[in-house]
Amino acid sequence: MSIYFTKDHEWININQKEGVVGISSHAASQLGDVVFVELPEIGKTLESGEELAVVESVKAASEVYSPVSGKVLSVNKELEENPQIVNESPFEDGWFVKISISDLNELKGLMNQDEYNVYCDES
The DSSP secondary structure of the chain, one letter per residue, reads -EEEE-TTSEEEEEETTEEEEEE-HHHHHHH-SEEEEE-PPTT-EE-TTSEEEEEEESS-EEEEE-SS-EEEEEE-THHHH-TTHHHH-TTTTT--EEEEES-GGGGGGSB-HHHHHHHHHH-
CATH value at residue 77: 2.40.50.100
**What pLDDT, on a 0 to 100 scale, did the predictor assign at position 123?**
80
Q: Give the Cα separation of 48 and 37 in Å (integer).
A: 20
Q: Of the candidates 71, 36, 29, which has an alpha carbon nearest to the alpha carbon of residue 50?
A: 71
Cβ–Cβ contacts within 10 Å for residue 57, how many? 20
pTM of the predicted protein model: 0.95
- Average pLDDT per run of 10 along the chain, which is 123 residues long? 93 96 95 96 97 94 96 97 96 97 96 96 87
Give the total number of structural domains in the chain. Answer: 1
Domain range spanning residue 71? Answer: 2-104+112-122
